Structure formats: structure tokens, C-alpha cells
Amino acid sequence: MRLAIDAMGGDFGPRATVGGSVEALQALPDLQVLLCGAREQLEDQLESISRVQAGVIDRITIIDAPVCLPDTLSPARALRLPAASSLHATLQAVAEGRADGCVSAGATGVLMAMARRQLGMIPGLSRPAISTAIPARGCGRCYLLDLGANIDSRPRHLLQFARMGAEMARAVDGVTRPRVALLNVATEPNRGERRVREADELLRQETNDHFDYHGFVEGDGLFSGVIDVAVCDGMVGNVALKSGEALIELLVERLSACFQHSWASRMVSVLARPALSRFRREFDPVRYNGASPLGLKKTVVKSHGSASMDGFGWAVRRAHCEVVGELTGKLAAALAADRHA
């Protein structure tokens, strides 16, 4: 398998993208990567990584694309620029079949606009939706979408998001019949804004063998483990995701401060260290880095722009998992079956 990497995107550029790609290569023996960016910078970064295992460098190919698109660039302006950027080279490698999917930490709007133009949408879908997994009770996780690709979604778009999210849970996590719900201000019928209530009516009319619709769910239900997919518009999803990440970071910080409060608590922290380490591993937002623009014909994963080397490595692993699970192909097949049913 081969993934194309936009090595110039994000706040840290090659320092995070190259190191994260190397970490993913070390963890995934079947993976090869195309690093798209300024050749000299990428080669210098590879030389600075001293822990590279034997055989990893042989699975890296550099595509010289020296232009880095600024985060302040508008999507419309990006589409008019010459095809010399690292993001364009990354998407072009996927479009031409030289890579099975790609990862970028660049600006979300620019990535979505260029990906739609170069890769195209799955037939039957009018809008892509960005989805990611969040931790849920019982060592499970819940897929939340949309996270910002669509700020003003119509009821029919929310219906499509439900289908896409269900396919994500089935292809990546192997959930036979994903439990899908609409994120709302209440669980009672006829509550919430009009488009959410209309989407609820559409989903209740849906005769679908691929998922179970559970109606409305409130914010606390995202982490309860009772659903596998939560559907909402882009603004609501983005606020929910960022709030959850900030809360987890606050809890870790407060726990650490509590154990340093006195000599007695510091002694207790020695005994509790294994449990604290497990807590950090399970709920660290870094492990959940990587959001998927669903609806595109090929696998694209959006990493946080502020992701560290470790965080970007998890985004690469997510792209690898989606390609292995044949997510885009299964989503296209499911939608085609629904249209002909």
C-alpha cells in the first residue's frame, strides 16, 4: 500500500509530517509513502531522524513540490494557483493511481476544495462530510460528523451523513449494524431546530438494512457508548469535538496537579502511575488525530494543523486503516445499492 503525504502542511511542516510518517512506517510493514514537498528540507529532516529502522528509508519516495500553501489562503484562490504546491502533488498522486490515499495537515477549506476537484465525489452524494472517532464508554468509540465541511446542512444532507457514518463504522470497526443518532438539544420528538426535526423524519422513513436509527441524542450521549454514529451540521460537530478535546486535556492536567499537591499525594501517585498512564493513552486526543472527508472517491485524511510528530503518525495510521477497510469502495457500493433498491 502507498500513501501520499503533504509534507509541507500544518504548523510544524516537515518536522511533524516526516517524523510522523516514519513512525507509521515502522509500525506498518506493508506501508510505503510518497513525501510531497521541498526535496532539500525533506532529505534534511530524514537525515536528522536517528532512530529510523533498517528498511524504512527504502519505503519512502520524495516528490519535489516546493510550494507550501499558507493557511490564510482562501479555497477559491487556491484553486486558481499553478499546480506546484505540495498539496496539489499529494492529491495528484492519488488521482493518478500512484497512491491509494493521502494525508494532509493543511487548511481544511483548501484541502476540501482541491480534493473535490482532483478526486471527485462518489455518485449520489452532494456534499462531503468530515468525520472522526471520539472515545466512548466501554472501550468503544463513536463517529461524529460533520466537523466543519458544511456549516449550513439541509435535512437531506444529514441523511447522507448518516449513511456515510454508518459505512465508516462498519468498514473500519467491523460494526455489523451501526447505531445512528441525530445530535440534538433534547431526545423527545418534535424538539430542536426545524432542519434536525425534518432530518429525523427522513431517517425514520429510511428503509435501510445497513444501520439502526436511534432518534435524537444529546451531547452526553456522544460518550455513553449507546450509539456508534452521531450526525450533526459542521458548526455543531466542530464545537462538540473541540470542547471534548479541551476537557480531556484539562482532566489530565488537573489529575497531575492533584498528585503533586503534597508529599502524601506524591507517594500515592507512584502507585497510581500505571493507571494514569493507561488513562492518558486511552483518552489522549493525539491518538484520535485524523479526520476523514467522507464522500470523496479516494481516501483523504485531514490531520490537525497543530499536530505533533506523534499526532501526524496516528493520522497516517488512520488513512492506512481506511484503505485496508476499502472504505470508499464500500461506501460507493452501499449508496449504489440504495439507489437501485
* Amino acid identity at 243: S
What's the pTM?
Answer: 0.85
Three-class SS state of 97: coil
Cα–Cα separations (whole angstroms), residue 82 to 42, 78, 89, 173, 205:
22, 9, 11, 39, 47
Cell of 276: 494514569
Longest dimension (CA), the chain: 69
CA proximity to 191, closest of 200, 203, 181: 200
Question: Strands 32-37 and 2-6, how do they pair?
Answer: parallel
Give the per-residue pLDDT at 252: 73
Location of C-alpha cell 458548526: 235
Task: In whole angstroms, give the CA distance from residue 83 to residue 76.
Answer: 14
Distance of CA 19 to the CA centre of its chain: 19
φ/ψ of 226, rounded to 5, equals -90, -15
Which stretches within 70-208 are classed as H helix?
75-80, 86-95, 108-119, 155-173, 194-205
- For residue 149, how many C-alpha atoms fall within 13 Å in the half-sphere facing its CB? 28
Cell of 181: 443518532
CA proximity to 230, closest of 211, 249, 207, 210: 211
User: What DSSP string describes 292-330?
Assistant: EEETBSSEEEEPPTT--HHHHHHHHHHHHHHHHTTHHHH
Q: Give every residue of the chain whose pLDDT is below 50, as ranges.
A: none
CA proximity to 331, closest of 305, 302, 292: 292
Angle between helices 14-27 and 309-324 (to 10 degrees): 50
Give the per-residue pLDDT at 54: 65
Distance of CA 183 to the CA centre of its chain: 19
